[in-house]
Structure 1
Amino acid sequence: MILTLGLVSALQTALIGAFAGYYLSDSLYDEIGQRALMVAKTVAATPAVIEGIRTRDRAGLNDLARRLAETNEALFIVIGDDQAIRLAHPDPSRLGHSMADDDGDDGSRALKQGQAYVARAMGSLGESMRGKAPVRDRDADAIIGIVSVGYSVNQVEATIQRYNFVLYGVVGLMLLVSIVAAIIIAGRFKRAIFGLEPEEIARLFQERDATLQSVREGIIAINRDGVITTMNRAALDTLGLAPDTPLAGRPILEVLPESDLLTVLASGVPDFDREVWMRNRQMVVNRLPVRQGDDIIGVVASFRLRNEVDQVSRQLTRIQQYADTLRSQTHEYSNKLHTIAGLIQIGATSDALNLIGSEVSDHQALIHLLLEAVPDPVIAGCLLGKYNRAREMGLTLVIDPDSQMADVPDDLPREQLVSVLGNLIDNALEATRQHTGEGGRVTLSMTDLGDDLIFEVEDQGAGIPESERTRIFEKGVSSKAGDSHGYGLHLVSQFLARWGGSVTVDDLPDGGSRFTLYLPKRPDRRDSH
């Protein structure tokens, strides 16, 4: 950029300088020529010159021509008669000779046509700008002679060089200022683009475009005027628009009036994981303001369909459940195998057989109950994992054999349901272990009769004071020490708020607490909750 701006400035300055120099030179030559012509006309109209030509007074004419030349700073003043024969000349040896001997001009334009004119010619005194004018005898009304006034070209060129010195100085200063300005502009421009070269910017732009198009989430960016500047193909797919729909340059309110991007643009507050409806589709949206210094210059939003997020979450929940179940079973069965091996080694084979039979019987009963009461594999898997988790902690999770949970609405998110149910069971197990130690039990009963799904979780903990039964659902509130607690029941309350459910907390007669969870089956009942 410095080279480009410098070369452009140098070219412009050189062209301006050349034009100014040429115009100055041409103007000076023209001015000197006009000055010579004016002096020639003035001398030709002098009465003494007219009288001297009429009387052919060479001495008087030469003296007069010399004085007039000195007065007007002319190189020479030559006076000739009507035949262009010199009557006055700075060089006496040339008197009496034709004026045409100097420059080939016999003065016919002045003597015959009566014109005054300017000519540039090389004469005996050097190259000069000459003004020639006819001398008229007013009495006889006839042309009786000619006057030639010359100014040396060397004088003109010396003047031109003097002016050129100033001109070239100004031109050089302009060029220097242009180069300094180019350096400053290039430096500011480079700082504005973070020191990147043009080819690096082009590469980054290509990388950014490739990154945008490879992201599976829809991405839309707007500028400070609320006009869409960037979007990717996933945005069109997610919004259900045709792949060739032009979005760039259109106001965001025209395309997505419910996006709330202008709210983030005005407030500057980012918004994460917000569930919204756009174009009749439920989506999870993140909105982030773009800042330049202290100014907000735009907003970028990323979004994807809620069902896609649910699908991923469901897969992760199942994997977590399987991992917890396998870990619990591995730990539990490792202990049982060691026990059985010890009984066999000491010869207590009958006890070993009884232990094996009891283990098989317990699991078969639990699996049979889950198959009958809970057809949904996600909920059943969660309960099986919590059963094994309880046994690992030295506790017992008892599932009411009269439980029934088959009529679960299809639109109820399974991963969120098992997350809520798992949090209640985990809290009950932890409270029971802290209060009773090993040997305690937690009871779970379920029913899908009526308009609600009802889950009851009873523990043998210390109970919850009535004054704390509302606070335990607030974020970060927990009876356990540490910063990583106090989120489980808060997630339960958030899910219930979205689904329209409710939860109650009661004390048990023999100690402990009962959490009762109500989830409406039908949408019209969810609003009433």
Structure 2
Amino acid sequence: MILTLGLLGALQTILIGGFAGYYLSNSLYEEIGRRALMVAKTVAATPAVIEGIRSQDIPALNRLARQLAETNEALFIVVGDRHAIRLAHPDPERIGFSMGDDDGDYGRPALVEGRAYVAMAKGNLGESMRGKAPVVDPRTGDIIGIVSVGYSVTQVEATIRRYKFVLYGVVGLMLMVTVLSAIVIAGRFKRAIFGLEPEEIARLFQEREATLQSVREGIIAINRDGIITTANRAAYETLDLPAEPPLTGRPILEVLPESQLLSVLTSGQPDFDGEIWLRGRQMVVNRLPVRQGDDIIGVVASFRLRNELDLVSRQLTRIQQYADTLRSQTHEYSNKLHTIAGLIQLGASQEALNLIGSEISDHQALLHLLLEAVPDPVIAGCLLGKYNRAREMGLRLDIDPDSQMIDIPDALPRDQLVSVLGNLIDNALEATREQTGAGGRVMLSMTDLGEELIFEVEDQGPGVPEHARRAIFEKGVSTKGEAHGIGLHLVQQFLNRWGGSVTVDNLPEGGSRFTLYLPKHPEGEPHHGTDSTSDR
């Protein structure tokens, strides 16, 4: 930008300066020519000059010519008769000779045609701009002589150089101002674009477009007037909008009347992980104002279908459960193997056999119970993993031998049920270990009799205060401090969608009981956003 503006300014300044210099030179030459012609006409009309030519008074004509030349700052004033013979000249030696020696035209236009004219010629006094006028006898009207007034071209050029010096000084100053202005403008412009060059801006724009289109979340941005400026492909797909006409350039309320982006534009407060309904779909939305200094110039929103997030959450939960199961089993069996190896090395073979038999007996009993009471492999695998985790923590997870969970409706998503049940058991194990340390016990009972599936989880923890029994199901609320409060919130969301409920009671002997009720055949569609926690 500096080079472009500088070169453009320099070119304009040089062209203007060159034209001005050329025009000034021509104007000065024309002005000197007009002055010479005017003086020549004035001298030719002077009575003393007319009388001197008529009487051939050469001394008087020379004195008068010198006086008039000095008065008009002329290089010379030459007076000739009707034959162009010099009667007055600054150089006395040239008096009596023809004027044609200097200009070659012998003053013919003035002497023959009777007209005044301007000519440039070089004589013994140097090159000069000459004005020539005929001398007319007023009594007879005849042309009786000629007057030539000359101004030195050297004087003209000196004057032109003086004017050009001032002119070119101004041109140079203008050029400097132009370059400095270009530097200032380019600097401010570069600061406004974070020091990036145009090529870098173009590359970043292409990268931004590629990034926007590759993101799976829908993204919509509006300016301060509520007009959509950006919308990626995922936005069209998530909102089920046609590709034509494009969203950009349209008011946000025309496309999404229920949008709250304008409220964020007004308040300037960001909104994260908000759950809303757009075009009949439940979504999780993040809205962030775009600021330029202290001004809010727009809002950017990213959104995604809620069920996609739930699917990701469930997959992560299952992966975590599998990882916990493998880790606990590895740790537990490693300890058992080390113990058995030590007993064999000590020669206590019977004790080693008893330990192996006890281990086999406990797992055989658990496996037998799960095979009969919980034939669903996903739920049974979850319970087996929690059983091993409890043992790793130094606790016991006892499953009521009278439990039965066979009649599970096909529509009930197993991964969500496992996530809910796993969260309740994990909370119970942590609460028990915190209260009792090693040796504590968590009790699980299940039944599918009647129209509901019922799960009861009892722990030996500190219990849940009455005032907190509803709040603990809200996101971010937990009795365990920060970085908690997600598990029970997921439980509540699942219950809201399935139409179930959960109760929390404190046990007389200490600890708490969480009872989960899930209808086998929920009425209507699962409802959204309501608190189904109830006391039964």
**TM-score range relative to shorter protein:** 0.7 to 0.9
**Which one of the candidate residues 328, 344, 361 is aligned to 2:365?**
361
Who is 1:266 aligned against?
A: 266
Q: Is 352-361 or 12-21 further displaced after alignment?
A: 352-361
Aligned-partner SS, 1:366 = helix
Aligned-partner SS, 1:505 = strand
Who is 1:104 aligned against?
A: 104
Q: TM-score, normalised by structure 1?
A: 0.85
Q: 1:404 to 1:256 in 2, by over 3 A?
A: same
Residue 328 in structure 1 maps to residue 328 in structure 2: yes
* Separation in 1, partners of 2:237, 2:473: 39
Q: Is 38-47 or 68-77 further displaced after alignment?
A: 38-47
Q: TM-score, normalised by structure 2?
A: 0.84
How far apart are residue 418 of structure 1 and its match?
A: 3.5
How far apart are residue 74 of structure 1 and its match?
A: 0.7
Instruction: State how 1:47-86 maps to structure 2 within 5 Å.
Output: 47-86=47-86
How far apart are residue 217 of structure 1 and its match?
A: 3.0
8 Å Cα contact 1:436/1:460 also seen in 2: no
How far apart are residue 138 of structure 1 and its match?
A: 2.6
- Residue type of the partner of 1:289? P
Identity of aligned residues (%): 71
How far apart are residue 162 of structure 1 and its match?
A: 1.1
Aligned-partner SS, 1:347 = helix
Residue 370 in structure 1 maps to residue 374 in structure 2: yes
Aligned-partner SS, 2:374 = helix
User: What stretches of structure 2 of length at least 5 have no aligned partner?
Assistant: none
Who is 1:517 aligned against?
A: 516
* Separation in 1, partners of 2:401, 2:450: 15
- Residue type of the partner of 1:397? D
Runs (4+) off by over 6 Å? 338-341
Instruction: State how 1:29-428 maps to structure 2 within 5 Å.
Output: 29-241=29-241, 246-334=246-334, 342=343, 345-347=348-350, 353=357, 356-371=360-375, 375=376, 378-392=378-392, 393-399=394-400, 401=402, 403-404=404-405, 406-408=407-409, 410=411, 415-428=415-428
* Separation in 1, partners of 2:380, 2:404: 12
Instruction: Provide Cα deviations, 1:267-295, integer angstroms capped at 9, x if missing partner.
Output: 33222233333344443333333333333
Q: Is 166-175 or 393-402 further displaced after alignment?
A: 393-402
Residue 444 in structure 1 maps to residue 448 in structure 2: no
* Separation in 2, partners of 1:351, 1:387: 18
Q: 1:238 to 1:462 in 2, by over 3 A?
A: closer
8 Å Cα contact 2:373/2:405 also seen in 1: no
Who is 2:24 aligned against?
A: 24
Instruction: Provide Cα deviations, 1:432-468, integer angstroms capped at 9, x if missing partner.
Output: 4525962634133344844x65443333445444344
8 Å Cα contact 2:464/2:506 also seen in 1: yes
How far apart are residue 99 of structure 1 and its match?
A: 2.2
User: What stretches of structure 1 of length at least 5 have no aligned partner?
Assistant: none
* Separation in 1, partners of 2:278, 2:109: 95
* Separation in 2, partners of 1:453, 1:139: 144
- Residue type of the partner of 1:268? G
Q: 1:439 to 1:265 in 2, by over 3 A?
A: closer
How far apart are residue 413 of structure 1 and its match?
A: 6.2
8 Å Cα contact 2:115/2:134 also seen in 1: yes
* Separation in 2, partners of 1:81, 1:508: 146
How far apart are residue 300 of structure 1 and its match?
A: 2.9
8 Å Cα contact 2:238/2:305 also seen in 1: yes
Residue 504 in structure 1 maps to residue 503 in structure 2: yes
Aligned-partner SS, 1:115 = coil
- Residue type of the partner of 1:145? G
* Separation in 1, partners of 2:225, 2:120: 69
